[in-house]
Amino acid sequence: MCKPESTSEKRKEWVAGKNSSNQSTPMTREQARAASLESMLSALRANGLKVTPQRLAILRELAGDLTHPTAMDLFERLRPGMPTMSFATVYNTLAALTEQGLCVARALEVGPVRFDPNMTPHDHAVCDRCGLVVDLPLPEAHAASALPGFAVRVVERIYRGSCAACASREGHAGGGLQATGE
Ligand SMILES: [Zn+2]
Ligand SMILES: [Zn+2]
């Protein structure tokens, strides 16, 4: 069904990352979202797909969405306003964006892949309990002790644990993941 990130990210990540750079030219959330939406629209056209109202709605929903939604999440969010839209439309649109390097299909846990419009290489924190996924900037010194002959493209880590809300609900205050940024 979904392509894991290893086959779909390729090198486009570095090219497309210009829209979500958090270093050289800081953008507001809204600017980043608009830029991301623009690139996604071009990608659809480059794929020979017409920008239908349904596809536009899918793009709008994903651009700037930091929750790493699954295809089903997006489908369920959009369905009330677009009752004729099929899951295949959602899935195929996401597949086209992934193919063009404009979002990443991430296997962060067992289950369906999650779609990530943040093309800047980053780490993730994943809550074991509620499934919250938070983007974390890469540490400066991310020691990539490469295997001999292995060309490292990117190193990304997944921090697993309990988010602040889940940790405090269970009375382990202070031990959980900090949900920063969103
Ligand atoms: Zn949680
Ligand atoms: Zn992410």
> For 73-89, how does the pLDDT look when each residue is reduced to its tens digit (9 = 90+)?
999 999 999 999 999 99
Mean pLDDT of 147-164: 85
In whole angstroms, what is the distance from residue 114 CA to residue 70 CA? Answer: 4
pLDDT at 178 over 50: yes
If you measure from the C-alpha of residue 158 to the centroid of ligand 1, how many angstroms do you get, rounded to a whole number? Answer: 15
pLDDT category, 10, cuts 50, 70, 90? very low
Which token pair is 2?
Answer: 């979904």
Instruction: Give the residue from 112, 113, 126, 111 showing the smallest Cα distance to 156.
Output: 126
For residue 168, how far is its CA from the centre of ligand 1 (angstroms)? Answer: 10
* Domain 5-116 and domain 122-169 have a common topology: no
Question: Domain spanning 5-116 has what CATH number?
Answer: 1.10.10.10
Domain ranges of the chain: 5-116, 122-169
Question: Of 8-22, 41-55, 154-168, where does mean pLDDT reach its minimum?
Answer: 8-22
What pLDDT digit, counting tens, does each position of 106-125 carry? Answer: 999 888 999 999 988 899 99
Alpha-carbon span 98 to 121, nearest angstrom: 15
CA 181 / ligand 1 centre spacing (Å): 15
pLDDT at 95 over 90: yes
Sign of CA dihedral 39, 122, 24, 29: positive
Q: Which CATH number fits domain 122-169: 3.20.20.140, 3.30.1490.190, 1.20.1050.10, 3.40.1410.10?
A: 3.30.1490.190
Question: Residue type for 28, please?
Answer: T
Contact 161, 176 (CB under 8 A): yes
How confident is the model over 15-44, as a mean pLDDT? 68
Give distance in angstroms: CA of 35 to centre of ligand 1. Answer: 30
- CB under 5 Å of ion ligand 2: residues: 116, 118, 135
Q: How far is CA 94 from CA 1, 28, 87, 113, 126, in A?
A: 12, 24, 11, 11, 22
Distance from the CA of 98 to the center of ligand 1, in angstroms? 27
